[in-house]
């Protein structure tokens, strides 16, 4: 699902696969981060939901995935330009913080029934 989402964004924006790679990479690390942030609770449940995580763990989980996604996306974008920009780390951190804030706002204001 993440590859298809990234591929659609790449197709519409003509970016050559960088979004598909970044979304697939973040999906690859998704389960590992869930195990790290929820530990044994995640391993023992077959019907786990992110809504069950405490707020701090949920925020760290989202921020970690967004950080990996944005970092890989910006690295690929810089390599396309053929010169390395030293602002890539700063750009990654600020865009990750902004995206995480948007995700937290989503979790607070939109209630999804289980």
Question: What is the signed CA dihedral for 80, 103, 27, 79, rounded to 10 degrees?
Answer: 10
pLDDT, one tens digit per residue, over 33-91 is 888 877 766 556 666 677 777 888 888 888 899 999 998 888 887 776 555 556 677 77
With tokens 């979004």, the residue in question is 19
- The answer on pLDDT for 30 being more than 70 is yes
pTM, entire model: 0.70
Asked which of 18-27, 34-43, 88-97 is least confident by mean pLDDT, the reply is 34-43
The domains of the chain are located at 2-109
Pairwise pLDDT comparison (6 vs 88), residue with the higher score: 6
What pLDDT, on the 0 to 100 scale, is given for residue 75? Answer: 83
Rg of the chain taking only CA atoms, in angstroms: 16
């Amino acid at each position: 699902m993440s590859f298809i989402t990234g591929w659609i964004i790449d197709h519409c924006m003509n970016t050559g696969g960088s979004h598909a790679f970044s979304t697939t990479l973040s999906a690859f690390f998704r389960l590992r981060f869930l195990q790290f942030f929820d530990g044994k609770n995640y391993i023992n449940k077959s019907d786990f939901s992110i809504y069950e995580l405490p707020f701090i763990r949920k925020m760290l989980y989202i921020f970690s995935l967004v950080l990996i996604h944005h970092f890989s996306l910006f690295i690929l974008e810089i390599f396309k330009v053929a010169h390395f920009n030293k602002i890539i780390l700063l750009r990654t951190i600020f865009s990750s913080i902004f995206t995480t804030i948007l995700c937290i706002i989503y979790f607070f204001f939109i209630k999804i029934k289980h």
